Structure formats: C-alpha cells, structure tokens
Amino acid sequence: MRLIIMGPPGAGKGTQAKFIAEHFGIPAISTGDIFRRNVSEGTPLGVEAKRFMDAGEYVPDEVTNKMVRNRIEEDDAGPGFLLDGYPRTLAQVEELDGMIRGTGHQLDAVVVLTVDQDEIVNRLLQRAQVEGRTDDTEDVIRRRQELYTEQTEPLIGVYRDRGLLVEIDGMGEVDEVTRRVFKALDVVPES
C-alpha cells in the first residue's frame, strides 16, 4: 500500500497519518518529522534544513528528495508507506513517481484533508504552545499557508487527473475524520 496524505499546514495530517499507517501496517513517513529530528540532533542535514524551516520556506527539493529516497529504501517501507508532507512541489511529484516506479509498484491513493483557514490558524497557534515549534509563529504560519496555496495545492489537480484523489472533510473531531478516511479507503473498522 503506497499512500500520500496532503492538506494545508494544521489540517491534522500527522494525526490521521498515524492511524492510517497503523491500520495498513506500513510506516508513516513525515518529512517534517525527519527534518525536526535532524535539527534536534544537529546533523548537517538538520543545520541545512533549519534556516528554511524557521522561515516557513520549503527545504530545497534536492535535499528533500534525497532524504525521502533513502527513507523509502529502508526495509520497513518494503510493503509500502504513507507519506505525510511529501510531495509538496510538482518537481517532488515527478521525483516520487520515479522512486515508486523503481520499486515496481504504484501509488494507491492520495488522501487530501480539507479544512477551514481560520480553524487552521487556531490549531497551529495552539500547537505552537503545546509543542513549542519554532515555525509556529503567526508570520511563519501565514508564509507556510501561502506556500501551500502556491506550490502544493496544484498537486491536488495532478492526482485528481490520475484518479487517485480521496478528498476528506478534515473538520470536526479526530475520530470522526478518521472514520471518514477509512470509509473512503474502504477500510472495515475493527471492532
């Protein structure tokens, strides 16, 4: 199973990604989490990524692509994976196509969580307090949303044209959103 979860910053991708990945027994691969881990460990990748992340900008494609390629070549991703936060640009879509083609598999579905913009800002400001993320200040949040609209939203059309898009209303309780995702993916709930 090879899945992507998309949606604007604060749409709840990470939360839903964990439930979906667990259900299918595949790793949830979050590029943001990998970058943050590298930042906190002070690796060269982390040092490189931090200045972009703190400004709410995208880390350059060549850095991000290489990182994802290495990650999906790991053993646990053999049966599949759920990508959270990648691809974010059209160039990354092409790159991912190549990576998946190389494994002889194909992408199964792209889940998009749709949410209300005001709700997102509130969620992100709350998360900033809880997690202490340095990229959750109001200016940076605005920049990240702008970039999403400019560079990432166009990917929705690409995947819709390929018949892979699964659009989910991301508003409401976490459990409710999970139920919608599973229903759309034809998953029978466990009792």
**Residues marked as catalytic:** 13, 88, 127, 133, 144
Query: Which class for 88: exposed (0-12), middle (13-18), buried (19 or more C-beta within 10 A)?
Result: buried
Alpha-carbon distances of 34 from 7, 15, 30, 106, 186, rounded to whole Å: 18, 16, 6, 23, 30
- How many CA atoms, within 13 angstroms, populate the side-chain half-sphere of residue 115? 24
Asked if 32 interacts with ligand AMP (CB under 6 A), we say: yes
- Other CB atoms within 10 Å distance of the CB of residue 13: 25
**In the complex with ligand AMP, which residue's Cβ is closer, 86 or 182?**
86
Stretch that binds ligand AMP, among 82-90, 94-102, 123-131, 172-180 (CB under 6 A): 82-90
Span 137-166, contacts to ligand AMP by CB under 6 A: 144
Could you say which of 4, 16, 24, 86 contacts ligand AMP (CB under 6 A)?
86
List residues binding ligand AMP (CB under 6 A): 9, 31-32, 35, 52-53, 56-59, 64, 85-86, 88, 92, 135, 144
